Structure 1
Amino acid sequence: MPAVGLLTLGLLVGTLGLPAASASDTTLPAPEVESTDAATDALTEVRELADGRTETGRDLTMALRELRLHQDELSPTDRTAARRLLNRPPTKYQWASEQVQQFGGVLVHWDAGTVTPAYVSQVGTVVNNVLATYTGSGYRAPKSDGTNGGVAAGLLDIYLVDFAAKGEFGLYGYCDSDAPPPNNGPYDVSAYCAFDNDYAEYPGTPDNTLNVTAAHELFHAVQFAYDYEEDRWFLEATATWVEDELYDDVNDNWQYLAASPLRQPRQSLDQWTETGLRQYGEWIFFRYLSERWPTRQGALPVIMRRLMDRVDGAAGGPDTYSMRAIERELKARGTSLAKVYADFSDANRRPQVTYEEGASYQAAAPSATWKLSKRHPDTRVRRTTVNHLASATARLVPGAKVAGDKWRLRVKLDLPSQHAAAVISSYRTDGVVKTRPVRLDRHGRGTAVVRFDGRTVRYVEVTLVNTSARYRCWRAQPDARVLYSCRGKPRDQRQPMLIRARAIR
């Protein structure tokens, strides 16, 4: 309302003879500013993870990051609650008597009487070994936080906490930063981390649990030295990938394969979900890359460090978002994301021969299976839709009387004219698999013919792939339950794909 209108209203009130305000009248307090949806979601996620009210296996690190990035959007009441959650462990958990011991560039902290001296030494040794592996492979060391840990500058602070005693059941550890980056960068920040005080209450052996937790969380500390605000799916998937690189016999990350492109091929690769474990299961894509390009510097494949170099948001870094970094790295290696993702989608149909440890992996069931016979040789035209960086597989099985050298399977495809691919693979009775891409014309149409003799062919699979990595970046809603690369909206979701298969001779 314009100011003149307010003045007029005041004059009218006066003429109605209403009593003037007395000195004893109280002014109503201004309503408290409400938290934004994104800030509320971030605070809720941290609370639920800390209280053990969300799915076991989710990482607190990224939740704390989101809360720090959105804490200025909280109401005063919520901001006070957030500060308590964001305090370092000695303050957060009200330690009675903080103890410290230095191990090279690492400073281990604990509350007196909660940790054995042997475990303190073990943690110091494990952390130094993990960090040495990362720096020896060309990665940047975690950035110093000065004297924020209360002792000498330049040390990485590791806090040992009895999470179960604090009611934080299922929490393995986390890393955090006291100083999130400025809005316009640079985006590299310091880190500190917290681990459990003995890992006695967790599945697996305490030693193994400490090892893989250190590998995962300290990789987050390294990531922070590149880009604190990089895409969540990428940060979690690569930190889960590295667990198996450092501690190959532990295999803790196998638990996430049920929620991975291996078992859920129809879901997009690059998603982070508010609930569930999908972002952890996406580590299998980076395992595929590192086995396909295995050249190492130190103990780790070079290709993975090159991805971190490409997303580097420190001063002078390219600050590329996750999927574009992958595209550019693959192009530099003489291929493309479209080709590699099509190969990956087909290779996941037979993990036992694709991956070094694939005998222990399980592939997804086909999206559809048809048995073709002399009487019913044709599937007719079948239609499906496929999201970006996802795939669907049709399996064609020769019937009992489809036997003889002359039998062939003819597959006709009608796919989008861009950002689509198909791979056809024949699985023979002798265990040999023959695979090749289906050539598509500029309209997305293609035909493939392969042998279909039931005596020598068990089945044929056709994998349809949406290879799009196009986004309208930074368009996701602040409270979105699923996020993709660059917080973008994928431009090529639910792409229609048609297939028709016929047994012929």
Structure 2
Amino acid sequence: MGVSFPARVAVACLLAGVLTALGGPADAHSDAHSDDPSGGPRERHAAGTPYSTLAMRDLFVARPTLGPLESMLVSALMARPTDGNQDPGGDGYRGPARKLCGQRICVHHAVRGADAPSTRRWVRRTLRVLGNVWDHEVDGLRFRPPPSDGRRGGDDRFDVYLADLGDRGLFGYCTPERRVRGERRAASSYCVLDDDFSRQQFGARPIESLRVTAAHEFFHAIQFGYDFREDPWLLESTATWIEEAFADRVDDNRRYLRFGTVRRPGIALDDFANDRYAHYGNWAWWEYLTDQYGDGLVRSVWNQADTVGDAPGRSSVKAMKAVLDRHAGLPRTLTSYAVANLSPADTYAEGGRWPAARVDRRATLDRSRRSATDRVRIDHLAARHVAYAPTRDLRGDRWRLRVSVDAPRRRAEARVVVVRTDGRRTRNAVRLDRRGDGSLTVGFDTRDVARVVVTLVNTSTRYRCHEGTLFACGGEPRDDDARFRVRATVIHRSSH
């Protein structure tokens, strides 16, 4: 027999108290793959349900600091489905279970009841997809496999459990379970996936839902072997990126682009918040980087974040900065990324179906109105765009636009993109001096120029770390709301 419904409610309420004490609600983290009727992503867990990968991670991290009752509750919530009645969260099988194993992975499933898959064929398909995921992420991309769990689940192969998760809005989750001996921040884990991914529950072909969920969740298991306490935006953005790398044709993660820095450049790159979903949409950042520098770049960042042995153990932004310093550097790369998102079709293989970056300010200039000044505030690792268009009376190759930028000292970048009437684009860097001042003059002939877009970027990576936030290093950004000023002036070459 399973736990009664009132008992489950009591468990959820007590868990809510545990998480509130930790500084967040029970549904503070989500691994979402489906849209709700309002057009935003539906969370992978229903309200009041404790399960999501990062919620389970947070409980695992907090468990050593909890009192006896709370610690016992968390241990029960982290129980495996085959623990039956000892798993009060609702995933415990209510009868016998079987498993089907490959060389590296075992798939466990209930024999009867709501958690039992409809056919044995689906179990075999799940095992085959998981094997393909392992081949891609471990053998292909050369990430370290998840740490062994000893003989949990019967032997040292990685364990995946099937359960009826769809009725709670869940696709799947992974749970860190035991710290690796001798390591402070590496843990073994197991995963739970839905038992059939029925189209009725998930709105897509079952095999497609299985492929992207298996790739995403298994990568969390890999991450837990590097650093289970790593910054949440890095955990989720790279796990969502790897869906694209593994199941490129599914394109399930494309729905998140409008929430991330592709469409909303004013959001910090390391933003993580349940009501914004930028951490999913920012998989595009890794797509941009790997297009530039190869798939190994994501692994290089995780190698910098790695805590095993003598690895650097850097927080997410420091790890990323260390890797990009070998290339163009983080400030210049972030600025190029912001500019690229003005026209995704010109940059990404599938960019023609992506949303373009939002332009914050637009102004039209002519002979009577020859200048415009815009002041914007920009948070760390974020950007904003302002645009200027010529009118018909600015006809002739003697018309120019002088762009002057006043930006924060040493923590800013600026680019000017000239969008021509034939669709071509030219990109120009604005050289800023030590005070953050710089200017650039470009053509502004209405026959040739459709508009000029100025991209402003706050490149700051300064934090007061360990302040309990969800940004990089749990820190408080030191340079948010930075002031930028742009002045655009129409000039005629004959007068100079």
TM-score of the pair, normalised by structure 1: 0.85
* 1:382-421 superposed matches below 5 A: 382-421=374-413
Would you say the 8 A contact 2:80–2:92 is kept in 1?
Answer: no
Tell me, which stretches of 5 or more residues in structure 1 are unaligned? 1-33, 295-300
- Cα distance between partner residues in 2 of 1:309 and 1:146: 24
1:416–1:309 distance in 2 versus 1, CA, 3 Å: same
* 1:27 alignment partner in structure 2: none
C-alpha RMSD over aligned residues = 2.3
Q: 1:47 Cα deviation (Å)? A: 11
Would you say the 8 A contact 1:389–1:467 is kept in 2?
Answer: yes
- Cα distance between partner residues in 1 of 2:346 and 2:71: 52
1:386–1:330 distance in 2 versus 1, CA, 3 Å: same
Would you say the 8 A contact 1:119–1:198 is kept in 2?
Answer: yes
1:358–1:309 distance in 2 versus 1, CA, 3 Å: same
- Cα distance between partner residues in 2 of 1:72 and 1:305: 30
Tell me, which stretches of 5 or more residues in structure 2 are unaligned? 1-16, 46-51
* 1:433-452 superposed matches below 5 A: 433-452=425-444
Q: 1:415 Cα deviation (Å)? A: 0.8
- State whether structure 2 residue 353 is matched by structure 1 residue 367: no
Residue-by-residue CA offset, 1:407-435 (whole Å, 9 max, x unaligned) = 00011111111111100000001111000
Residue-by-residue CA offset, 1:65-112 (whole Å, 9 max, x unaligned) = 001111344455544543332211223233211111211111111110
* 2:161 alignment partner in structure 1: 159
Residue-by-residue CA offset, 1:317-337 (whole Å, 9 max, x unaligned) = 11111111111111123x210
Aligned residues: 451
1:44–1:474 distance in 2 versus 1, CA, 3 Å: same
* 1:22 alignment partner in structure 2: none
Any runs of at least 4 consecutive aligned residues in structure 1 with deviations exceeding 2 A, and if so which?
34-49, 52-55, 71-85, 90-94
Whose radius of gyration is greater, 1 or 2?
1
* 1:9 alignment partner in structure 2: none
- Cα distance between partner residues in 2 of 1:57 and 1:314: 32
Would you say the 8 A contact 2:20–2:26 is kept in 1?
Answer: no
* 1:192 alignment partner in structure 2: 190
- Cα distance between partner residues in 1 of 2:489 and 2:402: 5
* 2:152 alignment partner in structure 1: 148
Would you say the 8 A contact 1:472–1:491 is kept in 2?
Answer: yes
- Cα distance between partner residues in 2 of 1:112 and 1:238: 35
Letter in 2 for 1:160: L
* 2:460 alignment partner in structure 1: 468
- Cα distance between partner residues in 2 of 1:68 and 1:350: 42
- Cα distance between partner residues in 1 of 2:148 and 2:31: 30
Match of 2:42 among 34, 56, 62: 56
Q: 1:41 Cα deviation (Å)? A: 2.7
- Cα distance between partner residues in 2 of 1:447 and 1:47: 44
Letter in 1 for 2:126: V
- Cα distance between partner residues in 2 of 1:48 and 1:177: 16
* 1:313 alignment partner in structure 2: 307
Would you say the 8 A contact 2:29–2:54 is kept in 1?
Answer: no
Q: 1:185 Cα deviation (Å)? A: 4.4
1:94–1:303 distance in 2 versus 1, CA, 3 Å: closer
* 1:112 alignment partner in structure 2: 111
* 1:329 alignment partner in structure 2: 323
1:248–1:140 distance in 2 versus 1, CA, 3 Å: same
- Cα distance between partner residues in 2 of 1:354 and 1:327: 22
Would you say the 8 A contact 2:176–2:228 is kept in 1?
Answer: no
* 2:256 alignment partner in structure 1: 256
Would you say the 8 A contact 2:265–2:358 is kept in 1?
Answer: no
- Cα distance between partner residues in 2 of 1:44 and 1:433: 44
- Cα distance between partner residues in 1 of 2:148 and 2:19: 32
1:463–1:40 distance in 2 versus 1, CA, 3 Å: closer
- Cα distance between partner residues in 1 of 2:97 and 2:460: 52
Letter in 1 for 2:482: Q
- Cα distance between partner residues in 2 of 1:274 and 1:492: 23
Q: 1:48 Cα deviation (Å)? A: 12
Would you say the 8 A contact 2:31–2:53 is kept in 1?
Answer: no
* 1:101 alignment partner in structure 2: 100
Would you say the 8 A contact 2:30–2:274 is kept in 1?
Answer: no
Q: Secondary structure at the match of 1:186?
A: coil
* 1:455 alignment partner in structure 2: 447
1:432–1:55 distance in 2 versus 1, CA, 3 Å: closer
- Cα distance between partner residues in 1 of 2:110 and 2:194: 12
Letter in 2 for 1:94: G
- State whether structure 2 residue 492 is matched by structure 1 residue 494: no
* 2:48 alignment partner in structure 1: none
Letter in 2 for 1:99: R
Residue-by-residue CA offset, 1:270-317 (whole Å, 9 max, x unaligned) = 1111433111111111111001113xxxxxx11111111111111221
* 2:22 alignment partner in structure 1: 39
Letter in 1 for 2:224: F
* 1:134 alignment partner in structure 2: 137
- Cα distance between partner residues in 2 of 1:292 and 1:233: 21
* 1:221 alignment partner in structure 2: 221
Would you say the 8 A contact 1:35–1:75 is kept in 2?
Answer: no
Would you say the 8 A contact 1:423–1:464 is kept in 2?
Answer: yes
Would you say the 8 A contact 1:40–1:74 is kept in 2?
Answer: no
